[in-house]
A and B are shown apart, each in its own frame.
Chain A
Amino acid sequence: MEQQQTLWQFINQQSGKLLQQTVEHIGLTFISLLIAVLIGLPLGILITRRTKAAWAVLGFAGILQTIPGIALIGFMIPLLGIGPIPAITALFLYALLPIIRNTFTGINGVDPVVREAALAMGMSNAQILFKVELVLAFPVIMAGIRTATVINVGVGTLAAYIAAGGLGEFIFGGIALNNTNMILAGAIPAALLAILLDFLLSLLQRMSRKKRKVTLWAMPVILLLFSSFYLLPLGYNTKLLAGFTPEFMGRQDGDIGLRSIYGLRIRTVVISDAVMYKAAYNKKLDVISGYSTDGRLKAYDLTVLDDDKKIFPPYYAAPVIRKEILQKYTELAPVLNLLSTRINDSIMTELNYRVDYLKQSPEACARDFLQAQGLYKTPRNGRKGRVRLGSKIFSEQYILINMYAMLIQGYTDLQVDTRTGLGGTKICFAALQNDQIDMYPEYTGTALLAILKPSSAEIARLAGNRDSVYSYVQQQFREKYNLDWLTPIGFNNAYALMMRKKQAQELGIRSISDLTLYLKKTKV
């Protein structure tokens, strides 16, 4: 096994990327903040004049604030697609409430006697606003802007899901890859950025009025400058645009392998797999890193490029389970193995298609399949014990978990708790190790490259062979983690590069080597 890389080494090695992500993150934060100030400040002022509209405006902004970040970004996709525009819009909406509310509260907090005095001295409404109200409300308004900035730095990490870049790329990549250094390389700069910006703004908030005047003029300039960071041209410029998941970006059998083994050089954005397929279908992306059994492959008429140099190892799915539970309930293993060899690649694609595209519930889809296979039995409602099932956060895992739950309930007297949507590999595996769940479906390739991380020589020895990879991970898991692998289910959900069928045909691209060649020829 190779020496574990330290965080410092990781940061050193990835410094270029880290810098780019930080710059993007600052850009995203400030553009959205700028727009939020430009809109929120006048709106906050307006509702102090029209008190009847105040509850409606504050209520609406409040509702926006309660939408979870990932959901808000999700809502943006059908409206604005992927990339910086929906990300900035979502961040802007988040930043709006604190700015509007603090402007409103700050101005309303000005002593009415002072306002009356200003009026009686003969100040116009504009003079009262600029000479008295805004100046006195300034600390409160600044506090709102500070809150908005910190929120934006935090929520900004989610921008990585929709190809808008930022430090979220490392964070989500690291979670998916079980790579703590990678998570920290994104999370620490993001936290430092939040603290730093908050601190700088707090200085401005507490500044005396004289000094503040200069700074207030400088602020829009600084905002604009930081905003423009986002426009810096970075990365390659090629004819085709690729969208890879954060996980894929950091994997040997992903972007790294594509670069080193195929020599693929393509302009790349990082994107969540939840929106990637649709983005490819909508011609926002040309090449994506999908999974070979994904239902959307069928739904969106995409084609898998042949991995002619075999960089994607096999990803056979099988239940990973704690040994104690197997020993405690000996009836469990045979029941879980009932599924093995029942589901091949095309069946799994079909099942995924039903859930992802036809919007069947994973539960209904699982029941239909088990019934068709003659495996379904009505639950016994036994009380012998409890088995806790976990799953990662995508349809295939939901379907499998539902099948396992039905099998356990139908064939044994055990009860089932399901903890679905546990994020990436890291979270599922940690939950299993820490006795939070008893089993979840894992893939041999993921276990090999994301959990065990053997030396490259060892990987070469296994040579992408289905059985040798399986027996290697099974043996290693038994030794290292006291976990067992049951029989593979049958399908191979490997990584794959995909393109729109039509475009691939037009360009004559059938394999990844074809793609590499095409990009070299058409280099801009």
Chain B
Amino acid sequence: MIEVKNITRAFNGFKAVDNLSFTVGEGMNAVFLGTSGSGKTTLLKMINRLIEPSSGEIWIAKKKINEQPVEELRKKIGYVLQNIGLFPHYTIAENIGVVPGLLGWDKKKIYARTTALMEKLHLEPGKYLSAYPHELSGGQQQRVGLARALAADPPVLLMDEPFGALDPITRASVKKDFKELDELKTKTIILVTHDVQEAFELGDRIHLMDKGKIVQEGAPDELLFHPVNEFVRTFFDEQRFQLEVRTIGREDYPALIHAFNHFKNGQA
């Protein structure tokens, strides 16, 4: 569980994150949705202390994050970067095995874990174990990035626009594998994105952010059908139809048609 209490981060007087509080329950997927500059990435980086807050507290699993050695904290938090950030001088195996290596796992265990993850993410170990990142496609690199974040089986996963650098087709394929990963089901995930479709697709709860604040927080359909203000309503306007169709679900179609017909007959 992640608890964020009254967190603020100011850069030269400008509040990138302004007095935020929220809780992400154990095993939940929380998506932070917002335009660039809304403060969502700053928020994310405060959770693994890449950025220190100006004020406020963050607790993970009932422990205050700044009361433990920062390296220890980070080894327990998986991190997926938008720009992937693989180590260019490490092989794929070494990249995936980085955190287990830092944790002092023995080599056999690291190897077993690495190959298992690669198989799950559809990267042939025989072909790619000793390849270097530059030999892989963008989609493959991001799969490695994901495997690296998951390698030491951390309870928490932070993802910063994880599919942002990929083309639409690759993105769909990586996203599909991502959703099918069984190990993700038990993890507490915070995912940051500007992509509304993606937020609806992946989030149990969506936190819509603007100017450093959370404008509305709730399940996807809550935001869609019960916007708290004009900002939230207009935010989804462009893609409202696709989103509503997705949210309503296939099984509701007969009812929808019935309602539509009823409405038409009433008019006549």
Interface residues of A (CB under 8 A from B): 111, 113-114, 116-124, 127, 132, 135-136, 209
Contacts and interface: CB of A to CB of B under 8 A. Distances in A.
A14 to B, nearest CB: 49
Contacts of B88: 111, 114, 136
B102 interface: yes
A124 B79 CA distance: 16
B190 interface: no
A117 B79 contact: yes
Contact of B74 (A113, A120, A132, A135): A120
Given A122-B99, A122-B102, A123-B102, A117 B71 contact: no
A307 B84 CA distance: 82
Interface of A is mostly: helix
B213 interface: no
14 contacts: A111-B88, A113-B84, A114-B86, A114-B87, A117-B79, A117-B85, A117-B86, A120-B77, A120-B81, A121-B79, A121-B98, A122-B74, A123-B102, A124-B71
Contacts of B8: none
B89 interface: yes
Interface in B206-243: none
A132 B87 CA distance: 8
B50 interface: yes
Interface string B62-82: 000000000111110101010
B99 A117 contact: no
Given A120-B81, A122-B75, A124-B71, 20 more contacts: A111-B85, A111-B88, A114-B85, A114-B86, A114-B88, A117-B79, A117-B81, A117-B86, A120-B48, A120-B77, A121-B75, A121-B98, A121-B99, A121-B102, A122-B73, A122-B102, A127-B102, A132-B87, A135-B89, A136-B88
A113 B79 contact: no
Contacts of A132: 87, 89
A120 B86 CA distance: 12
A135 B50 CA distance: 23
Given A114-B87, A117-B86, A136-B88, A122 B81 contact: no
B19 interface: no
A121 B80 CA distance: 10
A64 B84 CA distance: 42
Contacts of B84: 113
Contact of A122 (B71, B83, B85): B71
A113 B99 CA distance: 17
Contact of B71 (A111, A114, A123, A135): A123
A479 B83 CA distance: 81
Contact of A121 (B72, B74, B83, B89): B74
With most chain B CB atoms within 10 A of its CB, the pick from A111, A114, A136 is A114
Nearest to A110: B88
A120 B79 contact: yes
B40 interface: no
Contacts of A136: 88-89
Contacts of B79: 117, 120-121
Which 3 A-B residue pairs are closest in the complex by CB-CB distance? A117-B85, A122-B75, A122-B74
A187 B50 CA distance: 56
Contacts of A122: 71-75, 99, 102
B110 to A, nearest CB: 14
B113 interface: no
